[in-house]
Structure 1
């Protein structure tokens, strides 16, 4: 009789453990890292960022509770930020030296290691959607320019005139930069957006979207659409999205290197991210990274004045922040 009761207890324990693991989820996002100018003294502007980050996180949590797949959540959450003029992605994209908006995005699925990316597109309303279409509905990983747009149109995605991406503040940043002939504008501090997700099925995914660098020339492409540099995901290690000076992230193979540190050195996700930020600083590069592992552990590291960021976990933990403190 005692043996019978013990077996029932073990069975119930296993069932409850399985149910708990299926319900476990986590989501972490960023909206760019850099110099924050006078934002610390502008509470009204801060509230706008907090509200939009909260909106994106809350949508992600709702979708995760509904059992949506990680890649679906990544796309929907990033789209919220792409549709906002607050961030350098989609509607708020910065201008090239020619006064155009050229956008990049990428996504990677941790369960399959499948990935998709687009770069230099001028007429796709939500580039993150195009990246997912490349991942799921083509034999390719990376499409660019007019070819990427033609593919997106064929997939039925919403196309817009390049004027859709115009915002006065971004245009002023371009003119200010060109006037002073500097590599960066002092006000160009609101950057790339990204998201990493652990879904209730135990899979992880990461995505990144950006307008690139103000006043960029010659069709410049940064790290955001480069798998292994700005985005990476592997169920065995972590899901990563980066933001910052893309040339340095590409040189370091930044995102993939974090995964490698976890895989080969058995570092935790937060220690791996800190180590990679240290390498970035040694090269005098600036930026940040968000990541999570298959257990829902979160990392949000940066070496700049601030990074728009936040996360929600099924345990109830939640944070939305801008500055280091």
Structure 2
């Protein structure tokens, strides 16, 4: 009996050590990576960006403290950024060549490997909500265009006229590109939003939402709605959300590749993200990625001059940044 009691106490101590070594919860967000200059971004605008990132993180922390699931937190946190004109997602989405806004989003749960995505929607106020509805309430993973909008209406999601997404700043970006007769500019890819979360049950979730690329044509779709390219989550490895030149992320299978590096090469999530960003650079692509594992270890890697980013952990550790080396 005494031996059994000792074994029970030992098991209890080991369990306590394991739990204390792991973060109870953590959240990491990004608001896009791209060409950014401290000299050209006013202090007022920097303050606006950081305030909105902080608002998203504070909401996520509150929800996690109250026991919300990683999935619920990812959606609500991304909603904050989708509803802000600062980012290339939802309200601040960029314009296509034809002068309309087309939005993409995806979400994936680490525990179940379930996922949902929408692409090319023009009237769904919060595309991440539509992506979740696809995941929860359909047998499919991705819906596009009018079909995705029809499905969103049936799910009772808020539908808005396309002009809701109009912002003067994004419209002028399109006009400048049309005037210069260029197909794209790296700077105008900036603003995709994403969130990765670890909840108190130890489950991971990742989500990404975007307006795509300024002046895009022919129904172009980037990596954001593609599971394994722009978004991926697996409780056994990590959760990831990407931002950047989507064509490169698709070719690399970027997010899934990071998960594979963690799984098969036993790299940390930070090491794996760093390794994949190196591959992106070698191919000539630009962008960034945020990552989180089941122990609360985070990664925020990018090869551009800046990435809107931030994180908060249950330990109280927190950071919000825009440029490199800050």
**TM-score band w.r.t. shorter chain:** over 0.9
Following superposition, the deviation at residue 172 of structure 1 comes to 0.3
Closer, same or farther: CA 20–268 of 1 in aligned 2, 3 Å: closer
Q: Does 1:13 align with 2:13?
A: yes
Q: Does 1:242 align with 2:242?
A: yes
Q: Aligned equivalents of 1:49 and 1:43: distance in 2?
A: 10
> In the TM superposition, what are the counterparts of 1:13-32 in structure 2 within 5 Å?
13=13, 16=16, 20=20, 24-32=24-32
Q: Name the residue aligned to 1:291.
A: 291
Closer, same or farther: CA 189–97 of 1 in aligned 2, 3 Å: closer
Following superposition, the deviation at residue 268 of structure 1 comes to 0.7
Q: Name the residue aligned to 2:63.
A: 63
What per-residue deviation string (whole Å, max 9, x for no partner) do you get for residues 205-260 of structure 1?
Answer: 00000000000000000000000000000001000000000000000000000000
What per-residue deviation string (whole Å, max 9, x for no partner) do you get for residues 32-65 of structure 1?
Answer: 0000146655111000000000000010011000
> Contact 2:23 / 2:315 at 8 angstroms: preserved in 1?
no
Instruction: Classify the secondary structure of the residue corresponding to 2:188.
Output: coil
Closer, same or farther: CA 120–41 of 1 in aligned 2, 3 Å: closer
Closer, same or farther: CA 2–40 of 1 in aligned 2, 3 Å: farther
> Contact 2:198 / 2:292 at 8 angstroms: preserved in 1?
yes
Q: Name the residue aligned to 1:147.
A: 147
> Contact 1:40 / 1:46 at 8 angstroms: preserved in 2?
no
> Please, which runs of 5 or more residues in structure 2 have no aligned partner?
none
> Contact 2:30 / 2:194 at 8 angstroms: preserved in 1?
yes
Q: Does 1:42 align with 2:42?
A: yes
Aligned Cα RMSD in Å?
2.0
Q: Aligned equivalents of 2:40 and 2:285: distance in 1?
A: 23
Q: Name the residue aligned to 2:253.
A: 253
> Contact 2:189 / 2:214 at 8 angstroms: preserved in 1?
no
- Using the size of structure 1 for normalisation, the TM-score is 0.95
Q: Aligned equivalents of 2:37 and 2:162: distance in 1?
A: 28
Q: Does 1:110 align with 2:104?
A: no
Following superposition, the deviation at residue 16 of structure 1 comes to 4.7
How many pairs were matched up?
Answer: 325
Q: Name the residue aligned to 1:94.
A: 94
Q: Aligned equivalents of 2:69 and 2:204: distance in 1?
A: 9
> Contact 2:67 / 2:200 at 8 angstroms: preserved in 1?
yes
Q: Aligned equivalents of 1:282 and 1:195: distance in 2?
A: 26
Structure 1 segments, 4+ long, off by >4 Å, are 1-12, 14-23, 37-41
Instruction: Classify the secondary structure of the residue corresponding to 1:209.
Output: strand
Following superposition, the deviation at residue 195 of structure 1 comes to 0.3
Instruction: Classify the secondary structure of the residue corresponding to 1:188.
Output: helix
